[in-house]
Amino acid sequence: MTLFLGLGLTRPQVSQADDIYTFVIKKQEVKDKYRWSLADWLDTRDRLRLQDLWLAIHSPSPYEYYIGGNYQINQNSPGGNFKGREAFAGAFATIFGLEGRYTSDSVSRWMGQFNFRIFGYHDQATNITLHLGFRNTNTGTFSYNNPYGGAGMTLYLARFFGVTGLYHHFFMSPPNSSNVIYSGDYLEGGAFLDFRFLRVYGSYFNDAETGLTTKGITLGSKLYF
């Protein structure tokens, strides 16, 4: 009888001790979960650095560079046929870009252009880009300067094939030495093939300026970095 009574008195005490032990352990686990230490911070920092490194290696670069050139077969109205050459280079940082061009045909032209991409991730992808620039034209007898604005479009119809469109409006130039003011509109449409970092393209253009319309075909290539 005494034995049973002793067991009865011991069981609640053991159970209570287990409850206290469980409570203490759980409380410590909660503390451990929310405890901050310098070692934990250093471990987290190192993991984040490794993740950032992995993302930097596997993410596309925000920078894009290209150079290129083309050969032009032009026709003046009025006038005859003539040939020209053009070289250009450009760079993009995310959606902003700069581009320079030099054209030599019956006249020579320098163009500097600021680009702002409003749709698309890269120049070598489907995109719509706004242009704002300045052009200097030298005929050999006199020269004139035009600010201009416009937009260009690239549309991929397949993985390595697409079409392009371009429109520029050249605002009125200051009067030149002959007291003539020049302005006009430039339209271009074409198609291209991409071979990884190399683009081969052809286009038809129409350049209507004060007193002169030039139209023709352009064949060229563009190299991306």
Split at pLDDT 50, 70, 90, the class of 62 is confident
Q: pLDDT by residue (tens digit) across 134-153?
A: 999 998 888 999 999 999 99
Secondary structure letter of residue 179 according to DSSP: -
Class of domain 63-224: mainly beta
Q: What are the backbone dihedrals phi and psi of residue 105, each rounded to the nearest 5 degrees, phi first?
A: -140, -115
| The pLDDT of residue 7 | 45
| The pLDDT of residue 109 | 95
Secondary structure letter of residue 54 according to DSSP: H
Which has more confidence, 109 or 27?
A: 109
| The pLDDT of residue 212 | 84
Q: What is the mean pLDDT of residues 87-104?
A: 97
Split at pLDDT 50, 70, 90, the class of 224 is very high
Where are the chain's structural domains?
2-58, 63-224
Predicted TM-score (pTM) of the model is 0.74
Average of per-residue pLDDT values in the chain? 86
Q: Is the distance from CB of 42 to CB of 70 less than 8 angstroms?
A: no
pLDDT at 220 over 80: yes
* 16: enclosing H helix or E strand: helix 2-34
